[in-house]
Chains A and B, each alone.
Chain A
Amino acid sequence: MSRENSLVTAQWVEEHLDDPKIVLVEVDEDTSAYDKGHIKGAIKLDWTTDLQDQVRRDFVNKQQFEELLSSRGVANDDTVVLYGGNNNWFAAYAYWYFTLYGHSDVKLLDGGRKKWELDSRELVDEVPQRDATSYTAQEQDASIRAFRDETVEAIGTKNLVDVRSPDEYAGRLLAPAHLPQEQAQRAGHIPTAANVPWSKAANDDGTFRSDEELKEIYTEAGVDWDKDTIAYCRIGERSSHTWFVLKELLGQQNVKNYDGSWTEYGSLVGVPVTLGDEAGDA
Chain B
Amino acid sequence: MCGATAGGLSLDGIDVAKEAIIQGVVTKSGEPASPAYVRLLDRTGEFTAEVPTSATGQFRFFAGPGEWTVRVLAPQSDAVDRTVTAQTGVVAELEVEI
CB–CB B18/A182 < 8 A: yes
For B46, the chain A residues whose CB sits under 8 A away are 165-166, 197, 199
**Interface residue? B83 (CB, 8 A):** no
CB–CB A113/B61 < 8 A: no
**Interface residue? A20 (CB, 8 A):** no
Query: Do A86 and B4 form a contact, CB below 8 Å, given A117-B35, A167-B42, A177-B40?
Result: yes
For B79, the chain A residues whose CB sits under 8 A away are 204
Q: Give the complex CA separation of A55 and B42 in angstroms.
A: 37
Q: Give the complex CA separation of A204 and B41 in angstroms.
A: 12
Contact digits for A141-185, partner B, Cβ 8 Å, 1 yes 0 no: 000000000000000000000000111000011011111111000
Query: Do A113 and B18 form a contact, CB below 8 Å, given A181-B62, A197-B46?
Result: no
For B20, the chain A residues whose CB sits under 8 A away are 181
Interface residues on B, range: 35 or more
Contact digits for B1-44, partner A, Cβ 8 Å, 1 yes 0 no: 11111101100001100111000000000000001010110101
For B48, the chain A residues whose CB sits under 8 A away are 165, 167, 173, 176-177
For A197, the chain B residues whose CB sits under 8 A away are 46-47
For A84, the chain B residues whose CB sits under 8 A away are 2-3
CB–CB A114/B9 < 8 A: no
CB-defined A-B contacts under 8 Å, sample of 29 = A28-B2, A30-B6, A36-B6, A85-B2, A85-B52, A86-B3, A86-B4, A87-B50, A114-B73, A117-B2, A120-B76, A165-B47, A165-B49, A166-B42, A167-B48, A172-B64, A176-B48, A176-B49, A177-B61, A177-B63, A178-B40, A178-B60, A178-B61, A179-B9, A179-B49, A180-B19, A182-B14, A204-B73, A205-B73
Interface residues of B (CB under 8 A from A): 1-6, 8-9, 14-15, 18-20, 35, 37, 39-40, 42, 44, 46-52, 60-64, 71, 73-76, 79
